[in-house]
Structure 1
């Protein structure tokens, strides 16, 4: 495939992720040419809250190439809204026997007029794993919007928005009710989630009983988590959001969170994954 055959991020964001990683890791072109093919040279890029300049990005690409090791890209979900896109994926690297190094990643991107990426905010966390286990490449199937799912209707003036109308409202209102001792924890959960909703916080999957216990434990400690939403995207019944929260509003406990979720037909959330910056222990 020639460089002219490769999709831009604006044409096909999933195709861009696959082509970019293939060229950057397996290719033999200079990494500068690979990076500039898919990204504006002087765009803004952050990884786990820290700015990565062009020099650091290119150095990271050269370092990955120097391993001379194959990679597996498992693309879990992609959401595109206008000139913005978000994706969640895993990159696996074989180490020995069936042991792998797995990097869980997510990215929010802004797309330039020429189709390249001009801005990214990314999450990255590397862990050991085993070949053949874990979440596989699911974007081409289950990660697409459910058939027949219509966009959310516009909010009625003066009315309280439902979660389906606004992912930002879901996050703000759920955090506020969830940590408010005046609201029963079960009511706070069920107002925004279906009874069988799954929550994944970091690598831990919780159902309703686990979420209620976590809320009650934080309430006993008197903790609250104010939320500042930076951006949200929605495509069909799926949404992505990037926001910051902090324990009791203290800046030293500030935490950027990437969330990917799915709405049920009644507007409540039936699946949500919260990706936390590495090293941060609060839910």
Structure 2
């Protein structure tokens, strides 16, 4: 059975990331155990061309724990087909040195128990004050404009 059967896909993604983040920062539990609760042992994430397996994902959690950023996920769109989801969301991060807004486009596969098996993610950093409903930043003349 799909993990999306009884859950709105937008809420599923928001809850998945917020719960993972809160579990990681809310305890001293081994980060590998937390990663394993949310991801399969053979997980592969490709974010902006950077490949991460389970070991790299666990290593990625260490600076997150050290910096202790706060995060908020606004999921704008999410579409489901079987065990796969496509989502567009903005992550708002506040850490010790700055505020960030990161727009993400994700295509992912989840197991029946709600763990991520694979994800392909494209991101771009937005102005930190960009919020829901804010206009897109102006494009320079060098950038390609949509037709």
**Secondary structure of the residue that 1:77 maps to in structure 2?**
strand
Q: Report the count of equivalent residues.
A: 134
Tell me the equivalent position of 1:69.
69
The Cα offsets for residues 9-53 of structure 1, whole Å up to 9 and x where unpaired, read as: 8144333233223323x3213221121111101122211123212
**Which residue of structure 2 lines up, in the alignment, with residue 37 of structure 1?**
37
Specify which structure has the bigger relative contact order, considering alpha-carbon pairs within 8 angstroms and separated by 6 or more residues: 2
1:134 aligns with: 131
Distance 1:282 1:112, change over 3 A: same
CA–CA distance in structure 1, aligned partners of residues 74 and 116 of structure 2: 21
Partner of 2:101: 102
Aligned to 2:3: 10
Alpha-carbon separation, structure 2, partners of 1:63 and 1:54: 16
CA-based RMSD of the aligned residues comes to 3.1
**Per-residue CA distance 1:90-131 (angstroms, 9 max, x = gap):** 22223579x62222222111122443221111123334412x
CA contact (8 A) 1:89 1:105 kept: yes
Q: Distance in 1 between matches of 2:83 and 2:90?
A: 23
Residue in structure 2 matched with residue 227 of structure 1 by the alignment: none
SS in 1 for 2:63: helix
Structure 2 CA distance for aligned equivalents of residues 76 and 121 of structure 1: 17
Where structure 1 has 5 or more consecutive residues not aligned to the other structure, the ranges are 1-8, 137-199, 206-213, 215-280
- Structure 1 length as normaliser, TM-score? 0.40
Q: Is 1:100–1:128's contact at 8 Å kept on the other side of the alignment?
A: no
* TM-superposed deviation, 1:204: 4.6
Residue equivalent to 2:86:
86
Distance in 2, matches of 1:121 and 1:57, equals 14
TM-score (norm 2): 0.71
Q: Which residue of 1 aligns with 2:51?
A: 51
Give 3-state SS (helix, strand or coil) of 2:132's partner: coil
